[in-house]
Chains A and B, each alone.
Chain A
């Protein structure tokens, strides 16, 4: 299996521009997570989906952030308009639920490093 695939690996953009990060989860996994990692705040969960349905988006910082999962094999995280404080590494992870509904082991992508100038 190719693992969780994220694109782009690096993105440099200017303030005000739209940014779209993409994720392909591992085939067969039914949960997908978007995390943001910064030095100041560590690893923050932005949103997660179960069976393509958003379950908890309480971590999405502002209305500028939106996430979609149109099917089981693809998800996007969009920032519009982007700001310098959005600079971070954004991770996508997928998992298969364990018995009893617990989130199983998370398999992470390599992350997308976003720099907003």
Chain B
């Protein structure tokens, strides 16, 4: 079975500072994909970043980067230079071969001015 755990229900950060959201997962597969999705108050889910398990290099997308620790089954999201528009619910998700995407419970991030 595949599970995704996000242990931080809520976090806050000052504008322009850096924040890290945690995610751990469990899977018996050696190859899989990990994702971070963002859900702003408008409700629409948007992909933030994607990591392939067989790639050792951590994925980056502008101000967003991940720290992928395969042995520890950890996949954290770092947001640098936080902006007010980053305020949202963030979901970590895992997909295995031929299987569905499983989401964590989410972390609410509030960026304060």
Contact = CB atoms under 8 A, between A and B. Distances in A.
B100 to A, nearest CB: 5
B91 interface: yes
A43 B45 CA distance: 11
B105 to A, nearest CB: 5
Contact of B45 (A48, A56, A108): A108
Contacts of B95: 102-103
Contact of B103 (A42, A100, A102, A110): A42
A36 to B, nearest CB: 12
A91 B105 CA distance: 16
Contact of A45 (B31, B43, B45, B100): B100
A2 interface: no
A70 to B, nearest CB: 21
A14 interface: no
Contacts of B103: 42-43, 45
A53 B60 CA distance: 35
Interface size class of A (residues with CB under 8 A): 20 to 34
Contacts of A91: 45
B44 A105 contact: no
B68 interface: no
A111 interface: yes
B43 A42 contact: no
Given A42-B106, A98-B33, A103 B45 contact: no
Given A102-B33, A105-B47, A106-B45, 14 more contacts: A45-B100, A91-B45, A100-B97, A101-B97, A103-B95, A103-B100, A105-B35, A105-B50, A106-B47, A106-B101, A108-B44, A108-B46, A110-B43, A111-B43
23 contacts: A33-B100, A43-B103, A43-B106, A45-B101, A55-B100, A56-B100, A89-B43, A98-B33, A100-B97, A102-B32, A102-B96, A102-B97, A102-B98, A103-B95, A103-B99, A105-B35, A105-B47, A106-B35, A106-B45, A108-B46, A110-B43, A111-B43, A111-B44
